[in-house]
């Protein structure tokens, strides 16, 4: 008490800093050490800090008190501001504290004693808009280089290797105004990870050898995006910005901008990297979020020790001129030719920076109305006219000094002919909003929804929480980092009106994307070689949009009937089960149920899998099934939009055995939505005009598959080769010629006439309520199936996998004309899934992941995309390595084989301690608890869908993992991976870019002695199928049983 009085006096007379650490000696000679912290309300908190290291107690000042105590003050580097009043949801069990260190670093501490994963993220408010004019991509390059060694931890893969052996991983991203770094790790390994992480921002090496090599990785990343229309379209818009404005910059960078041109100008890129980091990587423009199992006090001491050394250069956050475009760019159309067959219209408005108005969110109010999908909306009218498939609206407000408000329209083929009419309808809606003025009831409804979402927000995964937090910390006060994105409850109609008055025809840019616009594309964007053109909109058209009359088909949305009113938790059943159990089972319906007793949210998830083998009978039926589902979703779109706003989600999807629909969210209004869906499904009706639009959209998506990334193609073709029955994309496209409206109607009747439904209900729902839900479905099935025999169990068997023989070494090659990069996938088949084989292959993958990446990507620079891991499909597991590269697949395959051959010795020489670390890292991943009701639902669903019912799979596998010895793993590696193993079974997929010089694919590459696959049917005909695994629970197969 006496100490507190003295400190209070010192505070009044300005003797204390925001945080001070003192050593006091009393009159008896006893030494006491304590920490004094002053939070923003000037409250003093005193804590004993005997545990502090001597380094932390470098004292530089002595003061004398009247009571003969000696006071020594810690160096100012450790002075902090503490914020204890972080606003959070009443349902949130985590503890939070905000800090601002003496060096200016903002910190959010998150304590979660029950966490099974720890995580951290750091954001620096510098992105590629701060690149030097003569070094485009330098900020992105700097992000890459920070991973490759620091003075304290010089090994290039030291950070990633530590995380890999600690059950963790990491990543980073460069944005226009920000660069973010983040990782997750096993809780006990957090401190070691933080120590390594902090050095990124204190003393990175930027070694000459790594600098020269990593330019190739940046270039490979750029080449991956050369045929990506999202990157291409965005870069055209940047390219059109006015000269001298930072928005115009090319942020990705490539070898030309970071090596060739600088070399020709005698620019030392490594020196520029060091200079960039030294200039901009300043603590005062950084934010750090850390989540761990430790207490807030323990986390605080950890952060002070490790991050106080980051230098504060007192950098001002760059702010950009408000207008990134010259006046001539407004009232202009931009035509862009995409790689894929895309069709879109985007109306872009440049706005003021609205970040300071986050509490009222005027942009959120307008986005809600313009992007609404209910009756009377812009989308509803455009769909009625057959001009549009979808619409999005939103504001980008992460650019200091200005922002963009955009309305994006996904056009139909007919919509291409009505661009000006579509724009006119959008301006009609905007004019209606101006005339009606801001509506308080709509704002209040949005506030109510946001408050509900925040209150019952699912527990975020640690890495997601910290990554989102560091962004919020750059925008909002520390107290509001959790609430600000949700609780925008300040009614400011004046701000809505001001923003609305900026969305004028004379101030817009219209970006049109379509392959039919090639005739207007007389220009080429230099970095992605995208063809584009511009055209000034004539004054008469602008005048027409400015004076447009109101449209009687447009109206404000109605009050949302799906907002839940009852958030009560249902009392637990007396016989509460640990896992899902079957509560009803007939030849046409099986119902699983599990009442949640862990997450305790007023939410329920339910899935219904409707099986009929005709759905995958042939490619035609697959297409008919897809379009039937598309038409059902299309009919429900306006109705379910309000439900989605109220976080009640409906998903309807095609499956190989039929269709599946899932409803999840607040349980209060779920039954209403379920009944509406069943009515539209079982009383199937369709509009032929909408059918023609959806058919064309689906056919276009099948064609666009060929422009996907090469690594996606390699995964697709491997699945096509090994799956028992899978229709190829080209087969589906050919069958589209036979798809008609009448055939879809006929197919729907046939499909719905004979079904088996498997249902799973999970969450805030007891057994009685689950039976009531099942009764609704059962009534509909009995009505439909009254005179039809139920499906037999053997009509619903799962797909199986083709079995490679020992010694098989197959190669499948496919050309790709869209991408400069090729892809190599080497797959090793390891056999049927069992707990033991699963965890053995999983452990092998765990050990190989980091060294594979380090060797093939970091050191050999084969390509930006390097992946290694386990493949578990159709009851069979295996191991695969995928590399997307500009180098020829034969060469890449050789390097993969070389790595695998050499790594055997590394495993043999691995210490037992390192081996045990890998086992523990894998155990941490396996035992990580699903973070949300939905995650747990999906995990249970997967076991039910596989008909394995192994609900304790992770625990069982980890129990076996603990017993695996190093010799066992070596034997597994030699058997499945070893080059000379007679048991080895390999299938290699090469996706070959046609942009290669043909001479490159010559005999200079090592002959792999592959058996080439040239005929799918012949290959599959020569192979056996693996048997289906038996279920872990003794449960009879679903469906009817035939009497033999």
Which residues does 61 contact at the CB level (< 8 Å), separation at least 6? 72, 73
Q: Which two tokens stand for residue 679?
A: 């009515």
Chosen CATH of 83-307 out of 3.40.50.720, 3.40.50.2300, 3.30.830.10, 3.40.50.150: 3.30.830.10
Degrees (nearest 5) of the Cα angle 125, 131, 132? 135
Q: Which residues of the chain have pLDDT under 50?
A: 1-78, 998-999, 1002-1006
Q: Which two tokens stand for residue 758?
A: 């498997």
Alpha helix segments (H runs only) across 933-1002: 933-946, 953-961, 966-976
Alpha helix segments (H runs only) across 522-646: 539-546, 619-645
- How would you class 385 by CB atoms within 10 Å of its CB: exposed for 0-12, middle for 13-18, buried for 19 or more? middle
What is the maximum alpha-carbon separation in the chain?
Answer: 101
What CA–CA distance (Å, rounded) separates 866 from 861?
A: 10
pLDDT tens for 955-997 read 999 999 999 999 999 999 999 999 889 999 999 999 999 876 5
Whole-number Cα distances in Å, 502 to 322, 507, 677: 13, 7, 41
Whole-model pTM?
A: 0.89
Q: Which of 87, 90, 143, 272 is catalytic?
A: 143
Domain residue spans of the chain:
2-79, 83-307, 327-477+490-546, 581-796, 802-1025
pLDDT tens for 889-919 read 999 999 999 999 999 999 999 999 999 999 9
Helix, strand, coil share (%) of the chain residues, nearest 5: 45, 20, 35
| Fold assignment, 802-1025 | Cytochrome Bc1 Complex; Chain A, domain 1 (3.30.830)
Enter the CATH code of domain 581-796: 3.30.830.10
Q: What is the DSSP letter of 300?
A: H
Q: Which two tokens stand for residue 829?
A: 């088949």
What CA–CA distance (Å, rounded) separates 1036 from 578?
A: 20
For this structure, is 143 an active site residue?
A: yes
pLDDT tens for 828-844 read 999 999 999 999 999 99
Q: Give the H/E segment covering residue 850.
A: helix 835-853
Contact 304, 98 (CB under 8 A): no
3-state secondary structure 376-413: CCHHHHHHHHCCEEEEEEEEECCCCCCEEEEEEEEECC
Specify the pLDDT at position 782: 81
Specify the pLDDT at position 997: 52
Cβ density class 656-678: b for 16+ within 10 Å, e for less: bbbbbbbbbbbbbbbeebbeebb
pLDDT tens for 735-749 read 999 999 999 999 999
The Cβ of residue 522 has, within 10 Å, a number of other Cβ atoms equal to 11
Specify the pLDDT at position 1044: 60
Whether 802-1025 and 83-307 are alike in CATH topology: the answer is yes
Q: Which two tokens stand for residue 891?
A: 């060469």
Q: Which two tokens stand for residue 14?
A: 């300005």
Q: Does domain 327-477+490-546 have CATH number 3.30.70.380?
A: no
Contact 328, 506 (CB under 8 A): no
Contact 596, 733 (CB under 8 A): no
What CA–CA distance (Å, rounded) separates 386 from 691?
A: 11
């Amino acid at each position: 008490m006496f100490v507190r009085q003295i400190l209070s006096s010192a505070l009044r007379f300005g003797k204390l800093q925001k945080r001070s650490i003192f050593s006091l000696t009393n009159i008896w000679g006893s030494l006491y050490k304590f920490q004094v912290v002053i939070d923003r309300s000037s409250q003093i908190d005193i804590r004993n800090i005997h545990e502090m290291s001597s380094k932390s107690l470098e004292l530089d000042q002595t003061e004398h008190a009247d009571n003969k105590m000696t006071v020594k003050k810690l160096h100012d580097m450790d002075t902090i501001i503490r914020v204890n009043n972080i606003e959070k949801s009443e349902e949130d069990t985590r503890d939070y504290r905000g800090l601002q260190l003496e060096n200016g670093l903002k910190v959010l501490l998150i304590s979660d004693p029950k966490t099974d994963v720890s995580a951290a993220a750091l954001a620096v408010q510098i992105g590629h808009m701060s690149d030097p004019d003569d070094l485009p991509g330098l900020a992105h390059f700097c992000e890459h280089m920070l991973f490759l060694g620091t003075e304290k931890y010089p090994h290039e893969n030291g950070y990633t290797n530590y995380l890999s052996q600690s059950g963790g991983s990491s990543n980073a991203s460069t944005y226009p105004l920000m660069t973010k770094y983040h990782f997750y790790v096993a809780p006990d390994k957090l401190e070691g990870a933080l120590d390594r992480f902090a050095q990124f921002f204190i003393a990175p090496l930027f070694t000459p050898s790594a600098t020269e090599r990593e330019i190739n990785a940046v270039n490979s990343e750029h080449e991956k995006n050369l045929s990506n229309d999202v990157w291409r379209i965005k870069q055209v818009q940047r390219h059109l910005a006015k000269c001298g404005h930072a928005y115009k910059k090319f942020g990705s960078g490539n070898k030309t901008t970071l090596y060739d041109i600088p070399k020709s100008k005698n620019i030392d890129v490594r020196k520029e990297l060091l200079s960039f980091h030294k200039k901009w990587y300043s603590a005062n423009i950084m934010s750090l979020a850390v989540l761990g199992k430790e207490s807030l006090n323990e986390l605080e001491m950890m952060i002070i020790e490790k991050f106080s050394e980051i230098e504060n250069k007192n950098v001002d956050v760059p702010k950009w001129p408000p207008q990134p475009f010259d006046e001539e760019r407004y009232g202009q159309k931009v035509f862009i030719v995409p790689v894929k067959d895309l069709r879109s219209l985007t109306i872009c408005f440049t706005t003021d920076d609205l970040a300071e108005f986050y509490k009222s969110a005027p942009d959120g109010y307008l986005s809600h109305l313009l992007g609404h999908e209910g009756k009377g909306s812009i989308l509803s009218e455009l769909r009625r006219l057959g001009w549009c498939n979808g619409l999005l609206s939103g504001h980008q407000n992460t650019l200091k000094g200005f922002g963009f408000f955009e309305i994006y329209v996904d056009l139909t083929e007919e919509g291409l002919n009505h661009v000006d009419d579509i724009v006119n309808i959008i301006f009609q809606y905007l004019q209606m909003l101006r005339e009606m003025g801001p509506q308080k009831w709509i704002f209040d409804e949005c506030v109510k929804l946001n408050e509900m979402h925040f209150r019952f927000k699912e527990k975020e995964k640690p890495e997601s929480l910290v990554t989102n937090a560091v962004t919020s910390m750059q925008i909002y006060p520390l107290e509001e980092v959790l609430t600000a994105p949700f609780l925008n409850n300040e009614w400011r109609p004046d701000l809505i009106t001001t923003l609305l008055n900026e969305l004028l025809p004379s101030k817009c840019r219209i970006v049109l994307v379509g392959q039919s616009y090639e005739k207007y594309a007389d220009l080429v964007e230099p970095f992605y070689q995208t063809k584009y053109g511009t055209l000034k909109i004539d004054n008469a058209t602008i005048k027409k949009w400015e004076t447009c009359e109101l449209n009687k088909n447009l109206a404000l949305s109605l009050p949302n009937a799906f907002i839940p009113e009852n958030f009560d938790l249902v009392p637990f059943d007396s016989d509460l089960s640990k896992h899902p159990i079957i509560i009803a089972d007939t030849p046409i319906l099986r119902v699983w149920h599990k009442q949640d007793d862990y997450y305790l949210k007023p939410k329920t998830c339910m899935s219904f899998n409707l099986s009929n083998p005709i759905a995958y009978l042939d490619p035609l039926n697959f297409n008919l099934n897809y379009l039937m589902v598309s038409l059902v979703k299309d009919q429900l779109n306006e109705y379910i939009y309000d439900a989605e706003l109220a976080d009640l989600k409906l998903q309807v999807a095609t499956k190989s055995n039929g269709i599946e629909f899932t409803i999840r969210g607040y349980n209060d209004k779920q039954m209403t939505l379920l009944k509406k869906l069943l009515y539209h499904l079982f009383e199937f009706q369709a509009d032929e005009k909408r059918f023609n639009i959806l058919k064309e959209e689906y056919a276009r998506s099948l064609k666009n598959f060929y422009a996907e990334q090469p690594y996606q193609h390699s995964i697709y073709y491997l699945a096509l080769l090994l799956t028992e029955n899978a229709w190829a994309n080209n087969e589906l496209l050919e069958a589209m010629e036979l798809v008609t409206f009448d055939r879809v109607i006929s197919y729907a009747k046939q499909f719905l006439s004979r079904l088996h439904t498997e249902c799973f209900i999970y969450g805030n729902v007891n057994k009685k309520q689950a039976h009531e839900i099942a009764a609704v479905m059962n009534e509909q099935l009995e009505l439909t199936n009254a005179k039809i025999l139920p499906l037999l169990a053997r009509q619903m068997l799962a797909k199986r996998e083709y079995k490679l023989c020992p010694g098989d070494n197959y190669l499948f090659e496919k050309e790709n004309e869209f991408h400069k990069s090729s892809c190599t996938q080497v797959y090793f088949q390891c056999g049927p899934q069992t707990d033991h084989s699963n965890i053995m292959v999983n452990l092998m993958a765990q050990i190989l992941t980091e060294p594979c990446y380090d060797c093939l990507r970091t050191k050999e620079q084969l390509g930006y995309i390097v992946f290694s891991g386990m493949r578990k499909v159709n009851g069979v597991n295996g191991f695969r390595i995928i590399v997307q590269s500009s180098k020829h697949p034969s060469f890449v395959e050789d390097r993969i084989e070389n790595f695998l051959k050499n790594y055997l010795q590394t495993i043999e020489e691995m210490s037992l301690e390192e081996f045990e670390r890998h086992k523990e890292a894998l155990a941490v991943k396996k035992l990580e608890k699903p973070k949300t009701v939905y995650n747990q639902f999906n995990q249970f669903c997967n076991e039910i869908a596989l008909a394995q019912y192994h609900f304790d799979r992770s625990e069982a596998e980890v129990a076996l993992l603990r017993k695996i010895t190093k010799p066992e793993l070596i034997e597994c590696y030699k058997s499945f991976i070893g080059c000379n193993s007679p048991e080895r079974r390999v299938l290699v997929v090469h996706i070959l870019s046609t942009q290669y010089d043909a001479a490159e694919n010559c005999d200079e590459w090592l002959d792999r002695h592959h058996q080439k696959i040239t005929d799918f049917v012949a290959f599959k005909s020569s192979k056996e199928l693996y048997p289906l695994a038996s279920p872990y629970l003794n449960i009879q197969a679903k469906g009817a049983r035939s009497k033999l």
